[in-house]
Amino acid sequence: MPRIRSLSLQELDPELRTMLGADHKSEREMRPTSVRGHHPELAKAYVRFASAFKQHATLSERLRELLRLRIAFHNQCRSCMAMRYADAVADGVTEDLVCSLERPEEAQDLSAAERLALRYADLLANNHLAIGDSLYAELAQHYSEKELVELGSWCALCIGFGRLSATWNMVEDLPARFQAETDTPVTPWGPHAWVTQAAPGKAASGIGR
């Protein structure tokens, strides 16, 4: 069960509710912002920061979603793994593509640049001190310095807030496979994911889940 109570839409700070367009969303889509809402000013600061990735993006929706889901697997954040952003789906993130995240280094439907970014995300999530000059030199063959700052910042947001969200255990209204107790890791690849109704830049409630 959840470890911190989710606020109802009516309990959210009015400014935060307006920022998120909360009156047009389901309770499930509002998590984990409905937990962050216990501290409205931090929640609003989070929304502003997370929304900047959408409003000033240099990386594609597709890449950011692949990175988010791969990191969600490392974090074992079930609420993160169960969700797909509508804008990323529109940018080509299919469930077949999500299945490529099981072994991204072998996936033929990922570009070389995407596979490299996912390798960077894996290391940042699991062994960040192994990232050195050689990997940044490889990344520089595909990404500008501005893109590298965005790449690292996006991964850091997903890692940190995704781990926090995992500890909140917001699984009570997720599809059954994301609620089940299991000795093996849950994966984002597989059936029963759900797609948000709103663009994440306009309603950043789920970014970094």
Tokens of 179: 């609620």
What is the reported pLDDT for 40?
97
Residue 176 has pLDDT above 80, yes or no: yes
Q: Using alpha carbons, select from 187, 161, 182, 189 the residue that is nearest to residue 32.
A: 161
What is the reported pLDDT for 172?
87
DSSP 3-state helix, strand, coil percentages of the chain (rounded to 5)? 60, 0, 35
Residue 52 has pLDDT above 60, yes or no: yes
What is the reported pLDDT for 28?
78
Q: Provide the mean pLDDT of the chain.
A: 91
- Could you tell me if 88 and 170 are in contact, meaning their C-beta atoms sit under 8 angstroms apart? no
Residue 208 has pLDDT above 70, yes or no: no
Give the separation between CA 202 and CA 199, rounded to whole angstroms: 6
The stretch 171-187 carries a mean pLDDT of 91
* 97-123: pLDDT as tens digits: 999 999 999 999 999 999 999 999 999
Residue 41 has pLDDT above 90, yes or no: yes
Residue 163 has pLDDT above 90, yes or no: yes
pTM above 0.75, yes or no: yes
Which of residues 200 and 65 earns the better pLDDT score?
65
Question: Which domains are seen in the chain, by residue range?
Answer: 8-56 (no CATH), 59-200 (1.20.1290.10)
Give the separation between CA 186 and CA 130, rounded to whole angstroms: 26
